[in-house]
Amino acid sequence: MGAVAGAAAMFFSDKKNRDKAKKVAQQGKKKVLAMKKEAQKDPQAFARKTAAQAEQKARILARKAKSEANKLAKRAEKEMKAKKRK
């Protein structure tokens, strides 16, 4: 915990870093307020949109996970064949 606090203190001791952090926080706040406004305007449409975005992200992650699993399986298969040859 102390190391993290020290690192944060070092980061925020520089004015450039404080300005960057403030800018990012302001952008995030604007985005959250826009989402809140959209959700209040039409909650059902916002829910559908959010669900569709989550589903799309899940599909992308599943595709990446499957690809990585296939790579690992192929690598393990090659290693097993190499061990059998010895």
- Note the pTM of the prediction, 2 decimals: 0.55
Helices (H), 1-86: 2-12, 15-41, 43-85
**How far is residue 54's CA from residue 57's CA, in Å, rounded to a whole number?**
5
What is the per-residue pLDDT for 86?
67
What is the per-residue pLDDT for 6?
85
**How far is residue 78's CA from residue 81's CA, in Å, rounded to a whole number?**
5
pLDDT digits (tens, 9 = 90+) for 39-82: 999 999 999 999 999 999 999 999 999 999 999 999 999 988 88
